[in-house]
Structure 1
Amino acid sequence: MANGDESEQIRELQARLKQLKLMSVAPTGFYGSKTTAAVKVFQSGHGLPATGSVDDATWKTVQGASRKPTEAELRPPTTIEVDTPDPRCMRGRVMCISKESRTLAWMIDGKIVSSFDVRFGSENTPTREGEFKVEWKAKDWTSTIYHTPMPYSMFFSQGQAVHYSSDFAARGYSGASHGCVNVRDKGKLAALFDQVKVGDKVVVYW
């Protein structure tokens, strides 16, 4: 397991590292910078080469130092802790979206006003990364391609939008979007929809 990988085994690794107080964010199954840093700390503390990647020796040591995670630990129902904001999010009005922690933070002048659990597109229909602007908004919208409801849509990149997903609310991370940023808390998103203006910045990053 190494930086850039994604699997259910990585989700278990992250849950075990969280048990050991080495990670604070909820398991996502994606091996990013936070997981790499946590693994290095673990390896250093257990006399292993601090590579940041998990080989057999590291995995067995992690398993020996922790217990098998419960389903609630692997997929916690509560809101995920917000990732450290990207530097591009620190000025102005921004929807700051982290793929690693799977969170959206609504930020104004560097301060987090509200935050949301989000999910993204699959490998075949990935959510684009980069800096964008809200191009247009639609409170009641149905996808013209997939014919699925997209309430509270805020479009930022060629048809990709932040919007409420009933599927995400029901199935969680067992599903994926077609490239949009799905939100599962409809009430909170409705409030955000009223605050966000066309032209506000959107940053999507790992």
Structure 2
Amino acid sequence: MGGIRTRGVVGLGVTGLVAPLALAVTAAPAQAASCTTSTGPHQKRVEKFLGRPADGRQSAADCTAIRAFQAKHGITPAIGYAGPVTWGVMDLMNKQKAVGNKPNKDGKCPVNKGRIACVNLTLQLSWIQDGKKLVYGPVPVRTGRDRYETRTGLRKIYWRDIDHVSNLYDVPMPYSQFFDGGQAFHSVGLSMWNPPGSHGCVNMTKKDAKKYWSLLRSGDDVFVYGRKPGT
């Protein structure tokens, strides 16, 4: 999320979730904390997700695998503990994968608007459709955290800036397409599952943000619905 300050002139599909560990844009730095020997409340489910022997007991190898997952997705502290935040990210990945290529199966995103960008906050997924035809996606996104929620409803893209810089947070927002006040689609160099979320914008990988930039135009509809877990 950011205001109107520019630099220069104004102006993923879910199939990848089959291998969720490979989807982060940039890995978070490894934490210096020691690897825990404690068995977490979600140990067995976390082990199963990671392809580890699902015996529900923490081992050194389990901890190493869990820490790697936590570091990659910016989950702190990255000490290999199978806690609720770690399992929550994995559970969301499983739910996203289950959507397949039918993100609007429930029909909640309007099919009478022509080309429209849809954002499902509950599943943290976005896609572009034209009527009932899926044009691109679904792709994982990172939306607003608690108290900075991405606002729901039907909006339109009203301003685009490929090299935008936030005047609130002084951070780059490449491929920005604003659709509701300071809220926009734009790319970030973070994992899409990095908690707790954005300051209201719909974060995307660079690949997906570039594709949205090429497919959408000012005046195109955007529909945001659902509720992000934890907000």
Separation in 2 of the partners of 1:97 and 1:90? 16
Displacement of 1:144 after TM fit? 0.8
Instruction: Give the SS at the match of 1:203.
Output: strand
In structure 2, the partner of 1:189 is 209
Q: Which amino acid aligns with 2:140?
A: D
In structure 1, the partner of 2:91 is 74
Displacement of 1:106 after TM fit? 0.5
Separation in 2 of the partners of 1:164 and 1:104? 13
Separation in 2 of the partners of 1:68 and 1:114? 35
Separation in 2 of the partners of 1:142 and 1:77? 33
Separation in 2 of the partners of 1:173 and 1:122? 11
Structure 1 unaligned regions, length at least 5? 1-24, 27-66
CA-atom RMSD in angstroms: 3.0
User: Greater share of helix residues, 1 or 2?
Assistant: 1
Separation in 2 of the partners of 1:101 and 1:90? 23
Displacement of 1:166 after TM fit? 1.1
In structure 1, the partner of 2:27 is none
Separation in 2 of the partners of 1:89 and 1:120? 23
CA contact (8 A) 1:98 1:104 kept: yes
In structure 2, the partner of 1:179 is 200
In structure 1, the partner of 2:133 is 111
Residues 137, 78 of structure 1: alpha-carbon distance in 2 compared, 3 angstrom cutoff: farther
What percent of counterpart residues are identical?
Answer: 29
Displacement of 1:194 after TM fit? 1.2
In structure 1, the partner of 2:164 is 141
CA contact (8 A) 1:168 1:182 kept: no
Separation in 2 of the partners of 1:150 and 1:110? 30
In structure 2, the partner of 1:53 is none
Instruction: Give the SS at the match of 2:174.
Output: coil
Displacement of 1:86 after TM fit? 1.5
Deviation digits for residues 130-166 of structure 1 (CA, Å, limit 9, x no counterpart): 0000001111111111111111111001110011111
Give the number of equivalent residue pairs: 141
Structure 1 ranges of 4+ moved more than 3 A:
71-80
Residues 112, 100 of structure 1: alpha-carbon distance in 2 compared, 3 angstrom cutoff: same
Matches within 5 A, 1:43-62: none
Query: Aligned to 1:120, which of 133, 143, 148?
Result: 143
Q: Which amino acid aligns with 1:191?
A: K
CA contact (8 A) 2:92 2:123 kept: no
CA contact (8 A) 1:94 1:108 kept: yes
Query: Aligned to 1:132, which of 148, 155, 159?
Result: 155
Separation in 2 of the partners of 1:166 and 1:138? 18
Separation in 1 of the partners of 2:152 and 2:92? 24
Q: Select between 76-85 and 95-104 the one with higher mean Cα deviation.
A: 76-85
Q: Which has the higher contact order (CA 8 A, sep 6+)?
A: 2
Query: Aligned to 1:88, which of 110, 120, 123?
Result: 110
Separation in 2 of the partners of 1:189 and 1:137? 12
Separation in 2 of the partners of 1:77 and 1:165? 22
TM-score by length of 2: 0.54
Displacement of 1:68 after TM fit? 2.9
